[in-house]
């Protein structure tokens, strides 16, 4: 049955994504994490397959009683039944099993949300196109960081200008109307997204 449901892919939903960089503290990534959290809750309640792709560096983690940066954002932790892919390169496809799992769930949309715009998000989109796989990005559920003199919102806008040329995007409202509204499935409004 899950082959006829959309798939939700969470890319780089790790704690360091919420840490403001130099000169950044507009709270936009916190708002993105909240949207993803609500979407994830609704997708799980609706029975969607959920895939997580996280970055793992080769350097050892040091934890002095503080939060570990590479850990998932609170509320976005994978469940034991959800696949987790570890990207060691720029793209989610640097884990070879990721592409196989996306291919397995082909048919209904494979929605991509998360962080690292433009870097891992763009690399993942380029790899998807090269493999003939369709990933649909939900713009309101994508966050990023400032790059040089460009603000996080400017970098995000530039990323979406290119993503719109590479692949499809679907606004969060349309995802709700098309894929999450049914008599038996909870809606995003009932869990607080449609405010």
- Residue 49 has a pLDDT of 96
pLDDT at 60: 52
Per-residue pLDDT, 190: 46
pLDDT at 27: 75
The pLDDT, as a whole number, for residue 1 is 43
Task: Label residue 137 exposed, middle or buried (CB < 10 Å: 0-12, 13-18, 19+).
Answer: buried
Assess contact for 1 and 47: CB atoms under 8 A: yes
pTM: 0.84
182 has a pLDDT exceeding 80: no
The domain limits of the chain are 2-18+25-55+70-191
**10 pairs with which residues across the strands?**
52, 113
CATH superfamily name and code, 2-18+25-55+70-191 = Isochorismatase-like (3.40.50.850)
pLDDT of residue 16: 80
Q: Would you list the DSSP string of 12-74?
A: S-BGGGGS--TT---SHHHHHHHHHHHHHHHHHHTT--EEEEEE--SSPP--SSS--TTSBPT
The contacts of residue 101 (CB under 8 Å, 6+ apart) are: 51, 83, 85
Q: Report the C-alpha gap between 98 and 1 in whole angstroms.
A: 20
Task: Compute how many other C-beta atoms are within 10 angstroms of the C-beta atom of residue 118.
Answer: 20
The pLDDT tens digits for 26-44 are 578 889 999 999 999 999 9
> How high is the pLDDT of residue 187?
46
Question: Are 140 and 112 spatial neighbours (Cβ–Cβ below 8 Å)?
Answer: no
pLDDT (tens digit per residue) in 111-164: 999 988 778 999 999 999 999 999 999 999 998 877 888 877 788 888 888 888
Alpha helices in 105-193, H assignment, sequence order: 119-130, 152-166, 172-175
What would the pLDDT profile of 45-104 be if each residue is shown by its tens digit? 999 999 999 988 665 555 554 455 578 898 999 999 999 999 999 999 999 999 999 999
């Amino acid at each position: 049955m899950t082959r006829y449901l959309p798939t939700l892919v969470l890319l780089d939903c790790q704690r360091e994504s919420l840490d403001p960089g130099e000169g950044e503290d507009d709270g936009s990534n916190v708002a993105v994490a909240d949207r993803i959290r609500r979407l994830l809750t609704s997708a799980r309640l609706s029975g969607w397959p959920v895939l997580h792709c996280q970055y793992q560096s080769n350097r050892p983690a040091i934890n002095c009683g503080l939060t570990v940066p590479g850990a998932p954002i609170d509320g976005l932790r994978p469940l034991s039944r959800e696949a987790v892919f570890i990207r060691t390169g720029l793209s989610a496809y640097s884990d070879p099993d990721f592409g196989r799992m996306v291919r397995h769930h082909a048919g209904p949309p494979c929605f991509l949300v998360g962080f690292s715009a433009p870097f891992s998000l763009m690399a993942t989109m380029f790899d998807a196109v090269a493999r003939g796989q369709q990933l649909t990005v939900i713009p309101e559920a994508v966050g990023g960081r400032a790059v040089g003199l460009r603000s996080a919102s400017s970098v995000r806008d530039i990323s979406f200008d290119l993503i719109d040329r590479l692949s499809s995007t679907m606004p969060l409202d349309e995802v709700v109307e098309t894929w999450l509204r049914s008599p038996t499935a909870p809606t995003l409004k009932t869990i607080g997204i449609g405010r």
